């Protein structure tokens, strides 16, 4: 009986010791700036900055700042496996590999997008604001090491 | 053909039956109202971004191969400084770091005719490595929006970085 309570206490103790650890790390709120670049796009007037951060827990976040583009139907934020992209480029036609980050939250203003954990940033070097309906690149930001 | 038009004219509801869905489909595809409707967001950074620079840009080599990043940071007390990172240029005599106007024609060339108009930040400390330079309090970064690595002796533009808001 005594042994049983000891084991339970030991498990609870271990759980407290290790369980509280990730919380402590999460509180350290600093993020590393990995890459940054500015948007260009004349046809659909896209401007602003795209920056990829690595949070303390390793998660990658894309943040758009001073951002502005034209509104449109079914516009997404994607990463493409290219050094840069032309205005109105069609990535379906050019068979450019992409990583979907989500639907564009707003055509103006600061916004954050989670980048999938296994994304190879050496390969996916450009952020594109991409209209899926017409397969047209509204604007692109080639990323450079910060 | 004319009988078909005549028939269609009599049965206008067929035209409406074809036209209405076509209009709806066109609206759905192009969403023309979005030309006037803006969606504004203002998400905060999901982390402490107080250490972010005000401006940043990449150095591009002119008269000599130059590369790296130039960023302008502001300390909590308001003091601003230029920081060069991953910096590399060629060594030379009397090489200075300047702030200049990005649209200055002189910066498009490798050598400046006459004097380069700019704000002196100091003698280049090293031709390789991370380094910081204090900015004068009066420096107007909306006017002086380029960092220049400049050899005063030969009026040679080693490299230029156009600064953009971070």
CATH code of the domain in which A103 resides:
2.60.40.200
Residue A48 lies in a domain: yes
Asked if A110 reaches chain B (Cβ–Cβ under 8 Å), the answer is yes
pLDDT digits (tens, 9 = 90+) for A77-96: 999 999 999 998 999 999 99
- Classify residue A12: in a domain, yes or no: no
Structural domain includes residue A35: yes
Residue B72's SS3 state is: strand
- Rg of chain B over all Cα atoms, to the nearest angstrom: 29
Residue A95: its pLDDT value, please?
94
Distance of alpha carbon A73 from alpha carbon A19, whole angstroms: 45
Contact criterion met (CB below 8 Å) for A59 and A30: no
pLDDT, tens only, B62-85: 999 999 999 999 998 999 999 999
Residues A89-107 as b or e (16 or more Cβ within 10 Å = b) = bebeeeebebbebeebbbb
Chain A residues with CB-CB distance to B37 below 8 A: 71
In a domain, residue A59? The reply is yes
A50 belongs to a structural domain: yes
Residue A3 domain flag: no
Distance from CA of A109 to the nearest CA of B (A): 5
A113 neighbors A102 (Cβ within 8 angstroms) = yes
* Interchain proximity A71–B34, CB inside 8 Å: yes
**Joined tokens for residue B21:** 């869905």
Q: Name chain B contacts of A109, Cβ cutoff 8 Å.
A: 40-43
Count of domains observed in chain A: 1
pTM over 0.80: no
Contacts of B29 in chain A (CB under 8 A): 73, 133
How many residue contacts between A and B have a Cβ separation below 8 Å? 78
| Token reading at B46 | 């999901």
Put simply, the answer to whether A51 touches B166 (Cβ < 8 Å) is yes
pLDDT digits over A9-30, tens only?
565 555 555 544 444 444 456 7
In a mutational test of the B interface, the residue from A46, A48, A110, A138 whose CB has the highest number of chain B CBs within 10 Å is A110
Helix ranges restricted to H, chain B: 2-10, 12-30
Q: Per the domain annotation, does A128 fall within a domain?
A: yes
Which residues in chain B touch residue A66, judged by CB atoms under 8 angstroms apart? Answer: 165
Quick check: B55 and B165 in contact, CB under 8 A? yes
Tell whether A5 is covered by a domain.
no
Contact B144, B119 (CB under 8 A): yes
Helix, strand, coil percent content, chain B, rounded in steps of 5: 20, 35, 45
B126-154, pLDDT tens digit by residue? 999 999 999 999 999 999 999 999 999 99
Tell whether A38 is within 8 A of chain B (Cβ).
yes
Domain residue ranges of chain B, discontinuous segments joined by +: 2-35, 55-165
Q: Mean per-residue pLDDT for A22-46?
A: 77
For residues A127 and A29, give the distance between their C-alpha atoms in angstroms, rounded to a whole number. 25
Domain that holds residue A38: 31-145
Q: Which residues of B touch A110 (CB under 8 A)?
A: 41-45
Closest-CA distance of chain B to residue A10, Å: 35
Tokens of A92: 């379906």
């Amino acid at each position: 009986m005594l042994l049983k309570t000891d084991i339970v206490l030991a498990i609870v103790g271990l759980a407290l010791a290790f369980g509280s650890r990730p919380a402590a790390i999460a509180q350290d709120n600093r993020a590393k700036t990995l890459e940054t670049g500015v948007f260009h796009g004349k046809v659909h007037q896209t401007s602003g900055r795209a920056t990829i951060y690595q949070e303390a827990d390793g998660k990658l976040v894309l943040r758009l700042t001073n951002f502005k583009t034209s509104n449109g139907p079914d516009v997404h934020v994607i990463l493409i496996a290219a050094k840069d992209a032309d205005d109105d480029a069609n990535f379906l036609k050019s068979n450019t590999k992409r990583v979907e980050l989500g639907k564009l939250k707003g055509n103006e203003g600061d916004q954050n997008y989670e980048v999938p954990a296994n994304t190879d940033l050496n390969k996916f070097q450009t952020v594109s604001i991409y209209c899926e309906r017409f397969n047209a690149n509204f604007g692109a930001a080639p990323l450079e090491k910060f | 053909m004319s009988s078909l038009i005549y028939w269609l004219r009599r049965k206008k509801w067929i035209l409406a039956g074809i036209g209405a869905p076509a209009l709806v489909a066109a609206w759905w595809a192009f969403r023309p109202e979005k030309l006037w409707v803006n969606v504004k967001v203002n998400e905060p950074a999901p982390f402490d971004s107080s250490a972010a620079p005000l401006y940043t840009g990449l150095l591009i080599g002119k008269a000599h191969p130059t590369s790296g990043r130039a960023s302008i940071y502001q300390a909590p007390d308001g003091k601003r400084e230029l920081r060069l990172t991953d910096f590399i240029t060629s060594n030379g005599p009397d090489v200075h770091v300047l702030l200049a106007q990005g649209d200055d024609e002189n910066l498009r060339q490798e050598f400046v005719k006459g004097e380069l108009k700019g704000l002196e930040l100091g003698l280049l400390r090293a031709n390789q490595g991370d380094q910081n330079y204090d900015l004068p309090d009066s420096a107007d970064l909306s006017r002086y929006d380029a960092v220049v690595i400049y050899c005063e002796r030969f009026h040679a533009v080693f490299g230029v970085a156009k600064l953009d808001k971070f």
